[in-house]
């Protein structure tokens, strides 16, 4: 996991989050579109963020405001990770069409291929977006 992160003070959140995202980005680029690898990388990202942020009881500040900041970071990081997984699945759906040859989906030259593609696209959108 992300061993180099340190929690010696409460002022390292932005630096540590940046390191988590940088490590996630590096790992994600090495996945080369493999959805299982991307899922594992996203899980690692969430684990890294969990490690960085203490339980809200540990911070004696305005808890609602602090929670808003932390929740936003988690939400945006998670959405980014899911979007990248969705793009990989979209690439896979498009590659099925390219293997068959260049066709125009707008003209529905191949009705079955068009139906399968739109079904795949709907599944990707409902799963990740």
- Closest CA relative to residue 69, chosen from 8, 10, 6: 10
Provide the whole-model pTM.
0.71
Chain segment 112-121, per-residue pLDDT in tens: 777 888 899 8
- Any domain includes 7: no
Please check whether residue 35 lies inside any domain of the structure: yes
End-to-end CA distance of the chain: 27
In a domain, 54, yes or no: yes
Q: What is the pLDDT of residue 79?
A: 94
Does any domain span residue 5?
Answer: no
pLDDT tens digits, one per residue of 80-124: 999 999 999 999 888 877 666 665 656 555 677 778 888 998 999
22-77 tens-digit pLDDT: 999 999 999 999 999 999 999 999 999 888 876 655 556 566 777 788 889 989 99
Instruction: Give the number of domains in the chain.
Output: 1
The answer as to whether 98 is a domain residue is yes
Residue 4 lies in a domain: no
Residue 44 within a domain: yes
Residue 116 lies in a domain: yes
Range of the domain at 69: 13-128
43 within 8 A of 24, measured Cβ to Cβ: no
């Amino acid at each position: 996991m992300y061993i180099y992160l340190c929690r010696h003070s409460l002022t390292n959140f932005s630096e540590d989050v940046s390191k988590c995202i940088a490590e996630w980005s590096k790992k994600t680029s090495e996945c080369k579109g493999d959805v299982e690898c991307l899922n594992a990388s996203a899980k690692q990202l969430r684990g890294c963020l969990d490690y960085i942020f203490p339980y809200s009881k540990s911070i004696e500040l305005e808890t609602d405001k602090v929670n808003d900041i932390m929740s936003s970071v988690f939400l945006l990081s998670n959405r980014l990770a899911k979007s990248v997984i969705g793009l990989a699945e979209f690439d896979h759906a498009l590659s099925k069409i390219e293997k068959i040859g260049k066709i125009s989906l707008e003209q529905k030259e191949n009705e079955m291929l068009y139906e399968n593609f739109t079904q795949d696209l709907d599944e990707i959108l409902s799963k990740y977006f």
